Amino acid sequence: MRSEHSEESFEEFSARYEKEFDGVQDVFELQRNLNNAFAYDLVPSPSVLSAALRAARRVNDFPTAVRVFEGIKAKVENTGQYQQYLDELKPLREELGIALKEDLYPEETN
Amino acid sequence: MSAIIRNSLVRAARPSATAALGYRAASTHAISNPTLANIEKRWEGLPMQEQAELWMALRDRMKENWTEMTIQEKKAAYWIAFGPHGPRSLPPPGETQKVVLYTVIGLVASFVIFASMRMFAKPPPATMTKEWQEATDEFLKVSTLSRRRRPPLLSVVANPHPPLQAQKSDPLTGISSESRAGSHVQSPSSKA
């Protein structure tokens, strides 16, 4: 039997979370949305992630911005994909001055 | 009066964290390196008040342009937020060994209890021998005497040819039927 609810497409997912992150007003909302966005069986698109990073900047939460990249690293399948995300988000990352955890704690990289 | 003097003396002797950090006047200045040096080791030892002061200072710094934050500030901000302390702390060292040790101790103790119970147990019942069970089969197929004068089972073993009288227990499908199904023999011989 088919579900009454239609599956959300990746584009709809991205649009929904971009909207969510654009509306974020405090750290709690930011982290709640990040937890939700990273709970799916997919890696959020760079547009969603940049919205999240801008939200982190807006609520002045530097550690969570670093954590976003940790989340990407945990979600992607291999280092190549992680590197693609890093390349894609590099301009924004440098604009906002977000360091990677690998840069902050190079001895603990795994 | 003396209490007031003492309080002020105590206050003078212990410079408040606010003064030591020196950020309230100008929050745009970077927090000094000594304040943040080795914060990962010191954080949990800091008094609550100083933790709050330091975090507030970092919060103020995070309101500025992040590109102007020093690497020390970034490390401290990240570590305080997501470092392995409090609910994120790592398991204490040697936890695995402890779990293994106590599990082994529990297993050894239960084995000791089990072994000592077995050691003081009575021997297995006399009915659990091949001979007794064969006699049971025999008894059910062909009974001995009338019900009133039935001798104890052991005498059947002692005398393989008692005066017989057909009991024919379970004659259609069981022990007395053609198939001889349902034998009670299940134990090894007592002479084995």
Please give the helix or strand (H or E) that residue B165 lies within, else none.
Answer: strand B165-166
Nearest-Cα distance to chain A for B82, in Å, is 7
Minimum Cα–Cα distance from A63: chain B residue: B78
Please check the confidence at residue B192 and state whether its pLDDT lies above 90. no
Domain segments of chain A as ranges:
10-103
Task: Give the 3-state secondary structure of residue B142.
Answer: strand
> In whole numbers, what is the pLDDT of chain B averaged over residues?
78
* ipTM surpasses 0.90: no
Nearest to A104 among B59, B63, B74 (CB): B74
Q: How far is A100 from chain B (nearest CA, A)?
A: 10
In the structure encoding, which two tokens stand for residue B162, read together? 């008692």
Structure-token pair, residue A100: 């990677």
Could you give the CA distance from residue A35 to residue B85 in angstroms, rounded to a whole number? 20
The pLDDT value recorded for residue B165 is 59
Cα radius of gyration (chain B) = 44
Average pLDDT over residues B53-63: 91
Query: Which class in CATH covers the domain with range A10-103?
Result: mainly alpha
Nearest CA in chain A to B83: A63
CA distance A97 to chain B (A): 4
Distance CA B103, CA B85 (A): 28
Query: How many CA atoms, within 13 angstroms, populate the side-chain half-sphere of residue B169?
Result: 14
Report d(CA B117, CA B126) in Å as an integer: 20
Model confidence at B56: pLDDT above 80 = yes
* Contact predicate A70/A43, CB 8 Å: no
Which has the closest alpha carbon to A62: A35, A24, A100? A100
Query: CA-to-CA distance for B173 and A27, rounded, in angstroms?
Result: 79
Q: What tens digit of pLDDT does each residue of A53-73 get? A: 999 999 999 999 999 999 999
